Amino acid sequence: MTNAEIAAVFEQVADLLEFQGANPFRVRAYRNAARTVHDLAQSVAAIVESDGTKLTEIQGIGADLAEKISTLVRTGSLPMLDELLAQIPASVLAILRVPGLGPKRASTLYHELGISNLDQLRKACEAHRVRELKGFGAKTETAILQGLEIAAQAEQRVYWSEADQVAATLREHLAECDAIDQMEFAGSYRRGKDTVGDLDLLVVASDPAKVMDRFATYPALADVLARGDTKMSVRLQFGLQVDLRVVPAESFGAALQYFTGSKAHNVVLRGMAKDRGLKINEYGVFRGEKLIAGRTEEEVYAAVGLPWIAPELREARSEFDWAAAGQLPRLVELDDLRGDLHAHSTWSDGAATIEEMVEAARQRGLKYLAITDHSKRATIANGLSADRLLAQWAEIDRLSKRLRGFTLLKGVEVDILESGGLDLPDEVLAKADWVVASVHFGQNQSRERITERVIGALKNPHVWAIAHPTGRLLNKRKPYEIDLDAVLQAARDHGKLMELNAHPSRLDLDDVACAAAKKLGVPVVISTDAHTITGLDVLRYGVLQARRGGLTKDDVANARPWPQLKKLIGKAR
């Protein structure tokens, strides 16, 4: 079982408990458990199955949770979830998952209108029966209908992070097969796209049948969809499809190039080859019948006079111009990042204390961390009033005195209010080391209104960055209406930064917006928005998107030590 699958089980437990109106603290405990497991870089199942380390040695996993995880990994099910499912029709689960609905509203729909499946939900919305309910309205009804549409599409793609967990376990599984000489995942996964439709796996093997036999014994396999001499497609229990291709060693580079894509990139490359009287396909580069390149990707690109292009850039955007001019950017790497400027603690809706977050950041090699808990408007997230925030900052000052070689910053994630303006007074914000502003409420407002609110925040002298600037949640929620160009312009005009929220469900700014920020000279700050200790591990997903946007170390603000970053935003003290 992958971490994502285990997390999904706990998420389900939390949903069902909330649906039943259970104690909110209990619900939150399961949500935190899901988050902890989901964000953990190591495989939880592997830890359970090994004799050495114990689950409870991982911060954020207590005895009770550890016990449930091992039951789940060892037996494939969780008795507690089975009991809950016995009490609630299984079809209700699909309703809980509709973007914009959530367990509370699903419960109202179930109890008031007897809605227990998606079909009934759609019909009730179309008959305008949903808007009559207390706490619902015409807007909610429209949102639910849109949500139903997104849900239908979402089933087809997984987060990159989820694909990565599958890829990792598959790699391990196939490592046992000695017929394999070379192996690489291609496709959108290799390009680091935010979501992945299916995994494309390439191998060079002395005995293709042996590889396929081994592939067929992968424990999470649900179905073999097709099997030929050199190609095999399977569907995993998780729903994801994996295409395996066995290719000759002299074609490996060409196949890797071809199946990495993107299609648009390959079209341009083939055109360039044609101009030189060459032909490129998945078997190699040919002059007439003669194979002139194909063993490595470098060879393939060199055949058309280009340097090797990083997979993240292969979207037919700027990469060919850069390559031709010898100006391919040196893309930012995880090791370049020095600190994290967006993290939560138990003071608002985080699961770890400030000390625990600091310790975890240090263990990950970071040199600074800003604690940015929510402001009071975010009541459900236990947001901080000015008084509580000042008390927290006093605590941070006390802690800072004991820290050597690590900078703990007094920060806040201040809400941009529905009516414009910020949720905390300027004289409070002025005392912060670092302020990110974000839109959590009024996300349905018009494009003009939301853009104006965000630009208003950028104009505030105490705000340094806009967090998750479009509010998108992959597979769940579209970005809110916002004129991102105008926002980026304003960021440049006021010397501010823009966040690339690294959480695998956000990746916001996305790759295209990162490229736009770079073009304008607006530095991007890659942040974890960690609510747990393991939440700090998501930085690498942010780095991938930044690379897709063509960002270098210089374009990423937190690739600098804190004193230099401070100068960048013109607020050296």
Which ranges of 160-262 would DSSP assign to H, the alpha helix? 160-175, 187-191, 208-216, 252-260
- How many residues make contact with Zn ion (CB under 5 A)? 2
- How many residues make contact with ligand DGT (CB under 6 A)? 13
> Tell me, what amino acid is at 549?
G
261 binds ligand DGT (CB under 6 A): yes
Based on CB atoms, which residue is closest to ligand DGT, 245 or 376? 245
Torsion angles phi and psi, residue 304, rounded to 5: -105, 20
Which helix H or strand E contains 102, and what residues bound it? helix 102-113
Looking only at the bridges linking them, the beta strands covering 279-281 and 284-287 are antiparallel
| The CA-based dihedral angle spanning residues 158, 162, 163, 167, taken in that order and rounded to the nearest 10 degrees | -160
Instruction: Tell which one of 188, 534, 545, 558 touches ligand DGT (CB under 6 A).
Output: 188
Q: How far is the CB of 279 from ligand DGT (least distance, A)?
A: 13
Strands (E) located in 240-398: 241-246, 279-281, 284-287, 290-293, 339-343, 368-371
Give the largest CA-CA distance in the chain: 77
311 binds Ca ion (CB under 5 A): no
Contact range with ligand DGT by CB under 6 A, out of 186-194, 228-236, 455-463, 478-486: 186-194
Q: In Å, what is the CA distance from 106 to each residue of 118, 410, 438, 573?
A: 11, 39, 27, 51
Instruction: Tell which one of 18, 39, 194, 243 touches Ca ion (CB under 5 A).
Output: 243
Site for Ca ion in 152-191 (CB under 5 A): 187-188
- What does 529 bind: Ca ion, ligand DGT, Zn ion, none (CB cut-off 5 to 8 Å by kind)? Zn ion
Contact range with ligand DGT by CB under 6 A, out of 64-72, 258-266, 441-449, 489-497: 258-266
Structure tokens at 169: 């376990």
Instruction: Tell which one of 18, 198, 349, 511 touches Ca ion (CB under 5 A).
Output: 198
411 binds ligand DGT (CB under 6 A): no
Q: How far is the CB of 311 from Ca ion (least distance, A)?
A: 12
- What does 311 bind: Ca ion, ligand DGT, Zn ion, none (CB cut-off 5 to 8 Å by kind)? none
Instruction: Tell which one of 95, 196, 204, 293 touches ligand DGT (CB under 6 A).
Output: 196
Contact range with ligand DGT by CB under 6 A, out of 60-68, 195-203, 359-367, 437-445: 195-203
146 binds ligand DGT (CB under 6 A): no
Residue number of the CB atom closest to Zn ion: 529
> Tell me, what amino acid is at 236?
L
340 binds Zn ion (CB under 5 A): no
Q: How far is the CB of 193 from ligand DGT (least distance, A)?
A: 6
Q: Quick check: 181 and 249 in contact, CB under 8 A?
A: yes
Compute the distance between CA of residue 525 and CA of residue 340 in angstroms, rounded to an integer: 9
Based on CB atoms, which residue is closest to ligand DGT, 267 or 430? 267
Q: How far is the CB of 191 from ligand DGT (least distance, A)?
A: 7
Q: How far is the CB of 524 from Zn ion (least distance, A)?
A: 17
HEC profile for 211-238?
HHHHHHCCCCEEEEEEECCCEEEEEECC
Instruction: Tell which one of 116, 165, 266, 460 touches ligand DGT (CB under 6 A).
Output: 266
Q: Quick check: 286 and 292 in contact, CB under 8 A?
A: yes
- What does 261 bind: Ca ion, ligand DGT, Zn ion, none (CB cut-off 5 to 8 Å by kind)? ligand DGT
353 binds ligand DGT (CB under 6 A): no
> Tell me, what amino acid is at 293?
A
Strands (E) located in 467-523: 497-501
Compute the distance between CA of residue 530 and CA of residue 552 in angstroms, rounded to an integer: 23
Torsion angles phi and psi, residue 243, rounded to 5: -105, 120
Q: What binding mask, one character per residue, do residues 370-409 give for Zn ion by CB under 5 A, x or -?
A: ----------------------------------------
Residues near 296 by beta carbon (within 8 Å), at least 6 away in sequence = 252, 253
Q: Which long-range contacts (C-beta less than 8 Å, at least 24 apart) are formed by 318-323? A: 318/515, 318/550, 319/265, 320/268, 320/272, 322/550
Site for Zn ion in 403-442 (CB under 5 A): 413
Q: How far is the CB of 301 from ligand DGT (least distance, A)?
A: 16
555 binds Ca ion (CB under 5 A): no
Distance in Å from the first CA to the final CA of the chain:
50
Q: Is the dihedral of CA 122, 124, 129, 134 positive or negative?
A: negative
- What does 263 bind: Ca ion, ligand DGT, Zn ion, none (CB cut-off 5 to 8 Å by kind)? ligand DGT
Based on CB atoms, which residue is closest to Ca ion, 88 or 212? 212
Based on CB atoms, which residue is closest to ligand DGT, 193 or 468? 193
Instruction: Tell which one of 70, 91, 230, 262 touches ligand DGT (CB under 6 A).
Output: 262
Q: How far is the CB of 162 from ligand DGT (least distance, A)?
A: 12
Strands (E) located in 419-537: 434-438, 465-466, 497-501, 524-527
Based on CB atoms, which residue is closest to ligand DGT, 283 or 406? 283
Instruction: Tell which one of 200, 312, 508, 529 touches Zn ion (CB under 5 A).
Output: 529
Secondary structure class of 384 (helix, strand, coil) = strand
HEC profile for 316-347?
CCCHHHHHHCCCCCCECCHHHCCEEEEECCCC
Compute the distance between CA of residue 29 and CA of residue 349 in angstroms, rounded to an integer: 11
200 binds ligand DGT (CB under 6 A): yes
Compute the distance between CA of residue 505 and CA of residue 197 in angstroms, rounded to an integer: 15
In terms of Cα–Cα distance, which of 272, 287, 230 is closest to 255?
230
537 binds Ca ion (CB under 5 A): no
Q: How far is the CB of 194 from ligand DGT (least distance, A)?
A: 10
349 binds Zn ion (CB under 5 A): no
Based on CB atoms, which residue is closest to ligand DGT, 81 or 268? 268
**Chain residues that interact with Ca ion, rule: CB under 5 A:** 187-188, 198, 200, 243
**Chain residues that interact with Zn ion, rule: CB under 5 A:** 413, 529
**Chain residues that interact with ligand DGT, rule: CB under 6 A:** 187-188, 193, 196-198, 200, 258-259, 261-263, 266
